[in-house]
Amino acid sequence: MSQDTLPIALVQQRCDGAPEANLARSLDGIAEAARAGAALVVLPELHRTPYFCQREDVAAFDLAEPVPGPTTERLAEAARTHGVVVVASVFERRAPGLCHNTAVVLDRDGRIAGRYRKMHIPDDPGYHEKFYFTPGDLGFRPVDTAVGRLGVLVCWDQWYPEAARLMALAGAELLLYPTAIGFDPAEPADEQARQLEAWRTVQRGHAVANGLPLAACNRTGFEPAPDGAGGIRFWGASFVCGPQGEWLASAGEEETVLLAEIDRGRTEAVRRIWPFLRDRRIDAYAGLARRYLDEPQP
């Protein structure tokens, strides 16, 4: 690995089996990525389990576990064995009735370098996450690792420019999004296409606006609803882009280990020609801390 480049891998996998089978897929993906030379491996959101948030079910809380815990121990062993940094997603049990959707960063020596608890929690048809997850309370803090300072966010966070910006302002060198998003198979094809393109576009916009490379690792495959009515076809489409939104690698809907090389010097070069952080009007943004500007400011 050159000091000027960072080889990364996204493990785009199905997550529709038993937890042990899903975790085995993740571990196989980490091993394959390491053999291909990756120094950083990103897994999809909640990769150990089927997407249980399709309905509200108190029994699903049995899937939660502490951090550190059994899953992070297995992943730490893989990180240490292969000498790679791993970004994993865990249903974190913090206390009875208090759980988070948490991204855990395991350094290449296997230690937990840091964690990020998902801040924006959706509640949409088929995505009943507010029933399960307490909003994060760790803020938008990058995690320092052997491969650099990682700005880790999770899925629904990817629609919010504020989250990416705050990670950038805190010194993130790379934006990473473990993700679980897909189509409602009943929606028409043109609507599905619009949703996928919007997802790609908004994240590439975060890369451009902050002058940072970005990687989004999504799960793939159809997961039926627990009651048998409908389900979600996770669209895969994991990708890596550079700090001007340029495509570095992209996947379709197949299971794959997506590889990309990130040029570590591009952020410096791009920010010199597009100095967006320099030209921010921080004296004029007070309204961003308000829900909506429907009343005059005092």
The catalytic site residues sit at 45, 118, 155
Calpha distance 178→161 (Å, rounded): 16
Spatial CB neighbours of 78, under 8 Å, sequence gap ≥ 6: 27, 30, 31, 84, 86
Q: Beta strand pairing status for 148-152 and 174-179?
A: parallel
> Could you tell me which residues are beta bridge partners of residue 75?
none
CA atoms within 13 A on the CB side of 2: 7
Compute CA 46 distance to the chain's CA centroid, rounded to the nearest angstrom: 10
> Quick one: which of 140, 144, 184 has its CA closest to 162?
140
Burial class (CB in 10 A: 0-12, 13-18, 19+), 181: buried
Beta-carbon contacts of residue 9 (< 8 Å; ≥ 6 apart): 29, 32, 33, 36, 38, 40, 41, 42, 257, 258, 259, 260
Could you give the CA distance from residue 293 to residue 289 in angstroms, rounded to a whole number? 10
CA distance 142 to 166: 9
Which residues lie below 8 Å from residue 255, measured CB to CB, with a gap of 6+?
Answer: 12, 13, 14, 25, 220, 221
C-beta separation of 26 from 48 below 8 A: yes
